[in-house]
Chains A and B, each alone.
Chain A
Amino acid sequence: MKATGIGASVRRKEDRRFLLGKGRYTDDIDVAGLTHAVFLRSPHAHAVIKSINSSAARAAPGVIAVFTGDDLAADGIGPLICGVTVTSDDGEPHRAPAHPALAQGKVNYVGDHVAVVIAETVEQARDAAELIEVDYDVLPAVTSTASAADAGQQQIHEVAPNNVCFNWPFGDKAAVEEVFASAHKVSRLDLVNNRMVTNPMEPRAALGEFNSGTDEITLHLTTQNPHVHRLVLSAFNQLAPEHKLRVVGPDVGGGFGAKIFVYAEELVVGWACRKVNRPVKWTADRTEAFLADAHGRDHVSTAEMAMDENGKFLALRVHTKANLGAYLSTFGTMVPSYLYAFLLAGQYATPLIYSEVKAVFTNTAPVDASRGAGRPEATYLLERLVDVCAQDMKLDPAEIRRRNFIPVDAFPYQTPVVQCYDSGDYNAALDLALELADYAGFSARAEEAKARGKRRGIGISSYVEACGIAPSAAVGQLGGGVGLWESAQVRFNPTGNVQVFTGTHSHGQGHETTFAQLVCDQLGVPIENIEVIHGDTARTQFGMGTYGSRSLAVGGVAIARACDKLIAKGKKIAAHALEADEGDIEFADGSFSVAGTDKAMSIAEVAFNAYVPHSYPEGVEPGFDENAFFDPINFSFPAGTHICEVEVDPDTGVVEIVKYSAVDDFGRLINPMIVEGQVHGGIAHGVGQAMLEVCRYEDDGQLLTASFMDYAMPRADNLPSFDVGYAPTHPPDNPLGVKGCGEAGAIGAPPAVINAIVNALNVKHLDMPATPENVWRAAQAAQA
């Protein structure tokens, strides 16, 4: 292993600028003539707009313009789109209400966009926004996921009767019912997957600049996928032709899904900078982030498992209501359908699965992907249900899992729900996790805690997820509007250093280091001579961005393919220079050599020859710069077992995580330090959902949790340190042997934590978040 190659915990190349305060996030950018945008947002969850009077705002000091939905419509801008079609059980596509970037006649959630003020300063824009008079006719609001589709509910969109976006059954219902009718035992669980606000620490922002000389718009955005933003804003929102629109995602302070989507503010800022012919910047404050970032999760489900007398799973049946919010966000339909139901097999060889998802509209912020996206919901449901199965069958939770795991020799394994798992050894991960967690010693620890008046619980969660998103053909078959390949360009400069352009985007994941390690390893170039460039449609050739733990599994392979092309070309150049046959040239450790001789030249020398081709092979193009596109043939399937041990104070309901052990299969690790950091962060996100976080709307649609004072983010003193281990297998479908690691913790942790708390309290179930109040009530109820 090279000290800076694959498998080394190389210190991150990107750290220095962040540590020095020299990061360059969107809001940090200042340009001459800058103006500021502030959005007037709806204070009502559901209302007809009777009139908007902005004359006082227009006359306020510093105000340059006030725009409403009519102005956008007059220019033919928008509406916002949803990019994935789900076919409802009536054979029709999902119901897609119009989603104007600025409201046209009606608002549908608190925080909905009513008008925008452009002024010389933020303060002036804010002051002026308060002068806009909007006459609303307030309508009743719908906020409940469980009852949004019930008879008699207020209708939100004309195109969506009963507030249903789609009702999507999947699987052989009759066959599953037959198995349930004759099963030895059926375990059943009703559960809620709590709504979350994704909350990357950098609030969203947009900076638009229009060049009237070139007719080009440059948009700096807090984006995880600059080219996707450009494509959607251009092809569907009519902002500007693709070649006249540049989207830059500079340093981005976390995303976790929330910065994938094309938001109203981004479109409006891009349009307004041309309209006022000055640069326009908008930066969300945290309250706006709570109100108008796409939220995550929000399912209400019933899960049932049919078992034989040995606790073998025979069939799984799931009914889920999923809240999509007031409008469809960019990928809103995909999350509770394909990213959810297709993961319901989990790690188990359950032969039959039937699921039915009813997706509903409510007067709440749009809901879309959030770290894990559908897979945490599937895993939480399944791993909670498996523990209920264990309780019902009086089996140890580890034992019932073992009895149902897909065996190691069954891979590649075709699940009954579309996905074909690439590789896995689920027993190996479970064994190692049990060892790390000292599962065998738990009962002694529980006894000791009991003597102190505390209750210990231990919980297992064995998850599988689909990453490496995604084979384009599969995306197309499922109704997706894009291809999910990735692209890369690897360019040698004449002086021998290398620039790597990737279509993925790093907003904390450390690509600038991991990808440099790949290139260092493959091309033998010192890592300090490699620079990874991402996040600018004017610099990188193309790309689909970063989400779904795809960057290494898809984008990394594209980089490796571009390097392959460089090596192939380099052999021709070296053969000419070394006066040998191309077939005799070998490449290793950055050197082209003639087999069986000591004749050799470095790749830097080859690069120089390519740019200064004074003596050069005939028919070979000058230059040493190659690009590649890679479209995966399958998803990748990271998996693992997480075990959480908690101590509960039954008198106060306070839960302390005393030990958290995670064993994951991510395939090959490029930078173990970075991978471990991703696991830590994911676990914290999952613990946050399990114990602290919930986004709650009042019945009238007011957001009760609209600040960090009301919405409990995990803090340092809520968490323990984590024990992390690996049980890797080799995924044959991925040329680098990698699987992806960014979401695993957020998927594995919630059921591990709740299973532990349920175990400590000796109850059947407890909905998240397990706040002290909820735990105390459950403890009291169990004693009564």
Chain B
Amino acid sequence: MAADKQSVNMTVNGKPVSGEVESRTLLVHFLRENLRLTGTHVGCDTSQCGACVVLVNGKSVKSCTMLAVQADGAELVTIEGLANGSELHPMQQAFMDNHGLQCGFCTPGMIMSALDIVNRNGNDLDEATVRKELEGNICRCTGYHNIVKAVQAGAKAMGGGS
């Protein structure tokens, strides 16, 4: 198997990283196992649950749908890359303020998806838009009610509103 290994280089949360991976290695496994960035989670094996969403070149991607080698040269942001020192990102803060998380397992994927939703739809999001856009992220704990509120509030805060 070792002969199959390929080297990859990418920027993750602003830092250049590299590694040796099998060609079949998924991006999510590269992040979790090689880089030990375990905030990105694996909740399914059919790219349905969204627990593994990260930003690749600014766009949300389910990191279980992408091979690590496909991310060669890309700029990635994971949940670990959002806070500014000890200060939470406005979307993280909105999830806390609105009780948008319970067990926390889907949360990183929810937040990374939420950032992409804001990027594409702006800072003033209605409930229907948020619900439709979150269709690719499954949560079993919250019933989504507070996640929707959190995404709306976070979007507003990112735009400088409160």
Chain A contacts for B105, CB-based, 8 A: 23, 25, 200-202, 253-254
- A709 contacts the other chain (Cβ, under 8 Å)? yes
Q: Name 5 A/B residue pairs within 8 A (Cβ), A-sorted.
A: A14-B104, A21-B39, A21-B78, A28-B38, A684-B144
Residue positions of B touching A, CB distance < 8 A = 1, 22, 24, 32, 36-46, 48-49, 51, 78-80, 83, 88, 92, 95-97, 99, 101-108, 111, 127, 130-132, 134-135, 137-148
What CA separation (Å) do A18 and B138 show in the bound complex?
Answer: 16
Chain B contacts for A510, CB-based, 8 A: 102
Interface pair B38/A21, CB less than 8 Å apart: yes
Interface pair B48/A708, CB less than 8 Å apart: yes
Neighbour of B111 across the interface among A19, A28, A124, A251, CB < 8 A: A19
B46 CB to nearest A CB, Å: 5
B100 CB to nearest A CB, Å: 9
Neighbour of A19 across the interface among B49, B107, B137, CB < 8 A: B107
Interface pair B36/A673, CB less than 8 Å apart: no
Interface size, chain A (Cβ < 8 Å): 60
Interface pair B145/A253, CB less than 8 Å apart: no
A709 CB to nearest B CB, Å: 5
Given known contacts A254-B102, A508-B141, A685-B140, A20 and B79 CB-to-CB distance under 8 angstroms: yes
- A256 contacts the other chain (Cβ, under 8 Å)? yes
What CA separation (Å) do A285 and B43 show in the bound complex?
Answer: 8
Neighbour of B80 across the interface among A20, A256, A286, A287, CB < 8 A: A20
Neighbour of A508 across the interface among B78, B95, B104, B145, CB < 8 A: B104
What CA separation (Å) do A568 and B78 show in the bound complex?
Answer: 50
Chain B contacts for A676, CB-based, 8 A: 99
A33 CB to nearest B CB, Å: 15
What CA separation (Å) do A123 and B26 show in the bound complex?
Answer: 12
Interface pair B140/A713, CB less than 8 Å apart: yes
B66 CB to nearest A CB, Å: 17
Chain B contacts for A21, CB-based, 8 A: 37-40, 78-80, 108
Neighbour of A745 across the interface among B32, B139, B143, CB < 8 A: B143
Measured CB to CB, the nearest residue on chain A to B38 is A28
Chain B contacts for A20, CB-based, 8 A: 39, 79-80, 83, 88, 92
Interface centre among B24, B43, B96, B107 (most CB of A within 10 A): B43
Pairs A-B, 6 closest by C-beta atoms: A21-B39, A18-B104, A253-B105, A508-B103, A684-B143, A680-B143
**Interface membership of chain A positions 654-683, coded 1 if the CB is closer than 8 angstroms to chain B and 0 otherwise:** 000000000000000000011011001111
Neighbour of B134 across the interface among A11, A30, A251, A716, CB < 8 A: A716
- A139 contacts the other chain (Cβ, under 8 Å)? no
Measured CB to CB, the nearest residue on chain A to B139 is A201
Chain B contacts for A472, CB-based, 8 A: none
Chain B contacts for A721, CB-based, 8 A: 127, 145, 148
- A719 contacts the other chain (Cβ, under 8 Å)? yes
Measured CB to CB, the nearest residue on chain B to A283 is B42
- A15 contacts the other chain (Cβ, under 8 Å)? yes
Given known contacts A681-B140, A715-B138, A707 and B103 CB-to-CB distance under 8 angstroms: no
Q: Which of A678-725 contact B (CB under 8 A)?
A: 680-685, 707-709, 713-717, 719, 721-722
